[in-house]
Structure 1
């Protein structure tokens, strides 16, 4: 087996970053001052997503040139993405969030580290110190004053650098973010936009009246007080479990191929046997069994959750350039006894059913459910996959990132899939797990036990 695990405990805990200048970048053209409707999917994603994009030194682009070129490209891009220069507000009459496209601008800062890039260590392993590469957020700013996106360029002594981007998730999903980065890179090159984004969020509006046609066991009704203008972004992804360990498990291409063969030998159908489906099934089984409470009813149902792109699933399909959050939570379900004793193929099929279930009718029912209950997905395992978003494939004037990754927040509810670092060509995947120490020991034991049965 090619799988390895490594504690996410880097030697470098302080990147010694100093910020040299901070500014606000405004759209280089006028904004029409409209209010942008946010779908029910957007509504529950009011939290920030922080990503880091690392670049090797490029002699043609010294620090000043990168900062200036990027800042200029951001200003131009905000003409098309004018909502990013706006601010969230709460519409009291409609009782929902929207974006006021007021041209208030985005944050942009430039800094430097006293370290060389190679001193940080392996970029694949989540390092809490990476948070220093993303612009600091001011807790004193209310929702209506907080920029929806912030950029920070940090240069290392070797000439390499990192671009940290923090954006509110209401603005776009992962696919939309990839298009945004492609457009940013294109403008930095001096070229036209690579994609013309579709910013019409009403394509995912609820029906009137709402028509909930399914039971939706993957969703939880929340009894929340009315949102106020001073509300802080959702803390759903901030966890709440203290004293948890990070560990990264790497599945090589051979490991994944072995899982596929195992599923096939046990009767999984051809369309089910994808890399994601077998990896998700393996993680689901290990996480649930590692954390299952003593005395749990073996006939109780477990659910694994993951994002499903809606763009091609709706009727009519959404434009592929749809820029909002066009994803919903797919789920697979199985009894606890099936996770422990059942064939692996059963779990792979259950994962596949989550995506197959996401038809136009089902997706519209979820959106309408959100109109009535304003709830949130629930399950035993939530998998956030950055595996094939392709952020490291974006070609900037100074080159492609040597690695792109989210800044990890300790959360025992979510397992994150990362792509391999450039140079690892066997199509493997990195699995980042955060669990209390005892549960982590159980997870690791089960991870290799079931992998060894391939």
Structure 2
């Protein structure tokens, strides 16, 4: 049973023929703006990098690009009244030695662009095309490096009347769930309605305890000085093959049924996410070795998988669902590769599920306090980054829902991405892996053997 999304990669356009028409700054309204500094939690602190997402829209005769552009500009000004940090700048606080956001009203970036192509001429929106980076702006050329916006919006209109919203945000501003809420609030403002969910911007809700108390071992975290390897967040210059594996609802259902037959305890839920993550972990761990000699040694190697867990509802008291910061911690599971080869699939699913179950209120507070005592980052062999259930494509704008929403994908060997189905079937999933050729062959063989 073949699982690859496409047997051969599509011929990708190298040039989307995009011309930047205007770059400017959106400034918050003077009536609501108050200069202040915004505390960033220890979870926010380690996520100082840009995340770029693109939201593609079909043509709508009632909303030509020029009308959409003006509506977006006005709505974003209003949005910054509630999301005041979006107009600020990231600064190192000299007194604390920590990053915070200087809410100085310097402005968010706003870029207008045009493409000579139609939306259909872009081809496959699912397959990761590096040229999609032309639809997003992270750095404004007119500003110095230390004065770049935390948020930059680019609208690119296509020759057919369709358009793309490219949004670059520093990860300190939002996690996936709060970014989805931001998009829903933006949609409300575009419809000239109040915010659907007023944001909670108080990052001190995830402040470390005084004094900090690390009450658990945190195998998912490593100190900067203890690590000789690169963080999983960094790109690589190594040649990588990209492959997308599609799992249908029926295939995921069968994996769940198979796992449910063998799990040894009733304490872990057999979810779609857990079975897909277990599948990815097994395939990634067993794809590493190349020669027969390495194969034997590889089976004794310990593999660690990482994935994000929302902690809003796990804390006591619970965080507001509208919390804008990074309310996610890294869950982990670890095992020898031999166990991942020989154990029943249900046991691997169980190990993945135990990683999330481990994150209680006390565990979360311990991890945050660990960040107060040490400087470090999440570290493991593979990180599963799930965009599967975030629902960016479900946001209803005045001109309709996106045809597709996705991140701009870069060369990251140790990050496997999960995407929703382009047709909006949230029960199916695309698995995107980027690996050296020999490892990719082994990954694919393991993937297909496991789901067959």
TM-score (norm 1): 0.94
Partner of 1:227: none
Partner of 1:273: 270
Partner of 1:229: none
Partner of 2:450: 450
What is the SS of the residue equivalent to 1:151? strand
Partner of 1:315: 316
CA distance in 2, matches of 1:8, 1:75: 41
Residue pairs, 1:43-442, within 5 angstroms: 43-138=45-140, 144-223=146-225, 237-267=233-263, 271-292=268-289, 294=294, 295-296=296-297, 298-422=299-423, 425=425, 427-442=427-442
Query: Structure 1 347/386 Cα, relative in aligned 2: closer, same or farther at 3 Å?
Result: same
What is the SS of the residue equivalent to 2:44? helix
Query: Structure 1 8/36 Cα, relative in aligned 2: closer, same or farther at 3 Å?
Result: farther
Once the 2 structures are TM-superposed, how far is the Cα of residue 2 of structure 1 from its aligned partner? 6.8
CA distance in 1, matches of 2:74, 2:46: 32
- Larger CA deviation: 3-12 vs 62-71: 3-12
CA distance in 1, matches of 2:264, 2:163: 45
CA distance in 1, matches of 2:409, 2:34: 36
Once the 2 structures are TM-superposed, how far is the Cα of residue 92 of structure 1 from its aligned partner? 1.7
Kept in 2, the 8 Å contact 1:238–1:409? The answer is no
TM-score (norm 2): 0.94
CA distance in 1, matches of 2:379, 2:188: 39
What is the SS of the residue equivalent to 2:397? coil
Once the 2 structures are TM-superposed, how far is the Cα of residue 264 of structure 1 from its aligned partner? 1.5
CA distance in 2, matches of 1:220, 1:66: 46
Once the 2 structures are TM-superposed, how far is the Cα of residue 124 of structure 1 from its aligned partner? 1.1
Kept in 1, the 8 Å contact 2:247–2:430? The answer is yes
Kept in 1, the 8 Å contact 2:232–2:414? The answer is no
Once the 2 structures are TM-superposed, how far is the Cα of residue 238 of structure 1 from its aligned partner? 3.6
Query: Structure 1 426/370 Cα, relative in aligned 2: closer, same or farther at 3 Å?
Result: closer
- Larger CA deviation: 1-10 vs 365-374: 1-10
CA RMSD of aligned residues (A): 1.9
- Larger CA deviation: 407-416 vs 333-342: 333-342
What is the SS of the residue equivalent to 1:21? strand
Kept in 1, the 8 Å contact 2:417–2:431? The answer is yes
Kept in 1, the 8 Å contact 2:50–2:138? The answer is no
Partner of 2:36: 34
CA distance in 1, matches of 2:233, 2:143: 20
Query: Structure 1 72/140 Cα, relative in aligned 2: closer, same or farther at 3 Å?
Result: closer
Query: Structure 1 340/81 Cα, relative in aligned 2: closer, same or farther at 3 Å?
Result: same
Query: Structure 1 282/261 Cα, relative in aligned 2: closer, same or farther at 3 Å?
Result: same
Query: Structure 1 367/136 Cα, relative in aligned 2: closer, same or farther at 3 Å?
Result: closer
Once the 2 structures are TM-superposed, how far is the Cα of residue 5 of structure 1 from its aligned partner? 3.2
CA distance in 2, matches of 1:394, 1:221: 39
Once the 2 structures are TM-superposed, how far is the Cα of residue 449 of structure 1 from its aligned partner? 1.2
Once the 2 structures are TM-superposed, how far is the Cα of residue 426 of structure 1 from its aligned partner? 7.2
CA distance in 1, matches of 2:145, 2:201: 22
Partner of 2:4: 4
Kept in 2, the 8 Å contact 1:54–1:161? The answer is yes
Kept in 2, the 8 Å contact 1:272–1:348? The answer is no
What is the SS of the residue equivalent to 2:117? coil
What is the SS of the residue equivalent to 2:245? strand
* Equivalences, count: 442
- Larger CA deviation: 73-82 vs 270-279: 270-279
Give the unaligned 5+ runs of structure 1.
Answer: 225-233
CA distance in 2, matches of 1:10, 1:434: 17
What is the SS of the residue equivalent to 1:296? helix
- Spell out, residue by residue over 1:409-439, the C-alpha distance to the aligned partner (whole angstroms, 9 max, x if none): 110010000000125x372100010111111
Kept in 1, the 8 Å contact 2:92–2:100? The answer is yes
Give the unaligned 5+ runs of structure 2.
Answer: none
What is the SS of the residue equivalent to 1:192? coil
Once the 2 structures are TM-superposed, how far is the Cα of residue 8 of structure 1 from its aligned partner? 4.8
CA distance in 1, matches of 2:199, 2:252: 35
Kept in 1, the 8 Å contact 2:231–2:379? The answer is no
What is the SS of the residue equivalent to 1:422? coil
Query: Structure 1 109/446 Cα, relative in aligned 2: closer, same or farther at 3 Å?
Result: same
